[in-house]
Amino acid sequence: MQHSLKLAVTYNDVVSGNKHRLPAVLTSRGLLTSHLRYLSWYSSKSDAWREKSIQAIRLLIDFIEASPNFDKATRLLKSFVECLVTGTIDYGTYSDHRGLYWKPRNLTSANDILFHITHYTDFLAAQEGFEHSRINPFRKATGWEERMNWCAYYHKNANAFLNHLSSYSEAQKAAAQKRLVYTPPQLLISNDKAERFPEDKIERLLRDGFIVAGKPDYRSIAMTMLLNYGGLRKSELFHIFTSDITINPNHPGEALVRVFHPVHGRSPIPKFKNRSEFLLAETPYRPRNTYRSTERIHAGWKGSLLTSRDGYFEVIFNPTSKAKEFLNVWIKYLKYQRQDSSGNNPFAFTNDRGEPDTLKNFQRRHKRAVERIGLTCKKEFGTTEHGHRHAYGYRSRQLGLTQVELQKALHHKSPNSCLVYIKPTSDDIRKRMRASEK
């Protein structure tokens, strides 16, 4: 039984004067205002992060209502985490004395839920009058735990851009502590499948898959080329302005595509400070990552590695010849398909009504195109939209690009992030072993 509701509210921060559209938890005793203040404080976090925080708090509220006999908060949290991992159902009698009927969660999910609860209560403990609200306090780490903490610190610090500014004394203090409540160690798994879009099917997908009323769908073809040959994340497609796609001055006949930060990237009109100000002043839109995930126009932003002070990175086509092919498709899209009903829609890709295209619409078109050429659209086959980025990363690795070069091509902040896109499958390793035996 659920003992809370999720609402969408407008929160007015009386200190800063800012207004935030936030999700909120409504309990039988009213709104959980402390959590609203918490979400407002971390307003720069993504909508997905806020939703996960809401889910964690609501689960804890349900557990508290179903467990009235606990007298200590930390003991209750420990039991809560155990129930997340093991579930609450007695499969011998198919009953649950708590009435929750939770199935076991995987360790990653349970750890995420515990993190959000701990993070929230740590925030409360830092507020005046709430010093004793830390539900998951620290204890002294054992020798083994302290060594593991140091390993984690050095691993994280090695990839930190400003690692020279980190404090050794603070790290020493943190390594000597361990949370009182924690989940069991997570399993170390290296997925066998790279989930790449089939290399021998991409040209057929672009040629025969994207057809509307017997004519090529240049919009979807251009978007898919940016994914497969440009390595973009699918969400990044929806932050591109029409003005961001130009002819490369150093290579005439090729497209130059820049992807700007949706908020802080340079405005296409110099009189505005950034893209956010431009959108708010000149269009009916705002940066698409600032909409809630439940809103149709929302598009996420992963936090890509930018390569210019103007707040953008450039798409690096692979093969490079695809930059010329993309330009041809882009020109046809502008000539035959692009609509702008309001006359002030800056986004590159629009729907048939002239409004900004959406992720869900593109996913539907991509799925139909994949099925039209006889494939099944599933993540495990690499035939979803994200499979194109995996194909780009693996193709780039096959060319002999170094890890740092791959990091820049895939726009990752850490050079280790690209490893998931380029790791070989078991079949790749077997093929190489067999070749060495000949």
**pLDDT in the model for residue 238:** 98
The answer to whether residues 91 and 108 belong to one domain is yes
Q: Mean pLDDT over residues 117-134, rounded?
A: 75
- Domain for residue 428, yes or no? no
CATH of the domain at 209: 1.10.443.10
The answer to whether residues 14 and 129 belong to one domain is yes
Specify the number of domains making up the chain.
3
The answer to whether residues 46 and 180 belong to one domain is no
Residue 82 has pLDDT above 70, yes or no: yes
Range with the largest mean pLDDT of 37-51, 191-205, 363-377:
363-377
pTM, rounded to two decimals = 0.74
**Which of 209, 211, 306 has its CA nearest to residue 262?**
306
What is the average pLDDT value for the chain, to the nearest integer? 85
- Domain for residue 101, yes or no? yes
The answer to whether residues 181 and 210 belong to one domain is no
**Domain region containing 352:** 202-422
The answer to whether residues 317 and 212 belong to one domain is yes
**pLDDT in the model for residue 429:** 80
Rounded percentage of the chain residues whose pLDDT exceeds 70? 83
Q: What letter represents residue 436's amino acid?
A: S
The answer to whether residues 265 and 369 belong to one domain is yes
The answer to whether residues 295 and 359 belong to one domain is yes
Residue 402: pLDDT band (50, 70, 90) is confident
**pLDDT in the model for residue 164:** 43
The answer to whether residues 146 and 210 belong to one domain is no
- Residue-wise pLDDT for 237-289, tens only, equals 999 999 999 999 999 999 999 999 999 999 999 999 999 999 999 999 999 99
Contacts of 19 (CB under 8 A, 6+ apart): 10, 11, 12, 13
- Residue-wise pLDDT for 23-59, tens only, equals 999 988 888 988 998 999 888 888 889 999 999 999 9
Residue 149: pLDDT band (50, 70, 90) is very low
- Domain for residue 436, yes or no? no
**pLDDT in the model for residue 162:** 41
- Domain for residue 132, yes or no? yes
- Which two three-digit tokens encode residue 320? 């490079």
The answer to whether residues 83 and 38 belong to one domain is yes
Residue 64: pLDDT band (50, 70, 90) is confident
The answer to whether residues 241 and 384 belong to one domain is yes
Residue 165 has pLDDT above 50, yes or no: no
Rounded CA gap, 388 and 401, in Å? 18
For residues 332 and 426, the model is more confident at: 332
Least confident of 130-144, 151-165, 220-234, 351-365: 151-165
- Domain for residue 21, yes or no? yes
Residue 343: pLDDT band (50, 70, 90) is confident
